[in-house]
Amino acid sequence: MNNNDDKAPLTINGEALVAIDDEALVTVNGAVMLIRERLGIPIPKSRFLKDSANGIAPRPDAIYGRTYLYRPVKILAYAKTLIKAFPPKAA
């Protein structure tokens, strides 16, 4: 098991949850929570679902029943594409 410092533990209302392993699959709710916790992007679940329907977000890596499961690495790569550079102020 890798002990990387970049794997910050997930928290809800200050209570630490189990840190998500990068090989573990996450649900849509888990993907949104992962983006919020690791990158600080306040993405709503509806944005993720819309981007999934439009082919912007990654395709699911697995399906369990009706639940779509994603790899955290792909989710974080997608979320980083949402960040845009702030234009410099004109002098």
3-class state of residue 71 by DSSP: coil
> Whole-angstrom Cα distance, residue 20 to residue 53?
25
3-class state of residue 47 by DSSP: helix
Q: What is the mean pLDDT of residues 4-24?
A: 58
Q: What is the mean pLDDT of residues 34-51?
A: 95
Domains in the chain: boundaries: 20-81
- Of all residues in the chain, what percent carry a pLDDT higher than 90? 64
Predicted local confidence at residue 2, as pLDDT: 46
E-strand stretches of 1-91: 11-12, 15-16, 62-64, 67-69
Runs of H (alpha helix) within 1-91: 28-39, 45-53, 72-81
pTM equals 0.70
> What are the pLDDT digits (tens) for 74-88?
999 999 999 888 888
